[in-house]
Amino acid sequence: KAGVTQTPRYLIKTRGQQVTLSCSPISGHRSVSWYQQTPGQGLQFLFEYFSETQRNKGNFPGRFSGRQFSNSRSEMNVSTLELGDSALYLCASSRLGLAGGIYTDTQYFGPGTRLTVL
């Protein structure tokens, strides 16, 4: 079974530009979450989508946005890039399932997109 895929894997942009990152979840997974990982702030939640609806959003400025398509694939967009946006952006997908008799959604992470802003 194929895992979560993210494209592109590496990206170099300059300040002020915008960027779009793509995520394809595991087949059958309908929830997609996005996280930013930096050495200073660690892993931080950006947003989560389910059935094309954003259900949760982290504490990030409006320059960070996302969407989900009917096939569960998701994109995130960052506009007016800043140097501090350089990070590894991770996408995770999950599917409601049973574990120990309790419903849970383990999030499975993709390989990430390494964004460098110059």
Partner 1 sequence: ELKVEQNPLFLSMQEGKNYTIYCNYSTTSDRLYWYRQDPGKSLESLFVLLSNGAVKQEGRLMASLDTKARLSTLHITAAVHDLSATYFCAVEPVSYSGAGSYQLTFGKGTKLSVIP
Cβ-based nearer residue to partner 1, 18 or 95:
95
Q: Which residues contact 52 (CB under 8 A, 6 or more apart)?
A: 67, 68, 69, 70
Among 8, 104, 116, 118, binds partner 1 (CB under 8 A): 104
Nearest CA to 111 out of 2, 27, 12 is that of 2
Neighbours of 34 (CB within 10 A): 25
Using CB under 8 A, which of the segments 16-24, 48-56, 65-73, 74-82 binds partner 1?
A: 48-56
Instruction: Indicate whether 60 belongs to the interface with partner 1 (CB under 8 A).
Output: no
Instruction: Indicate whether 99 belongs to the interface with partner 1 (CB under 8 A).
Output: yes
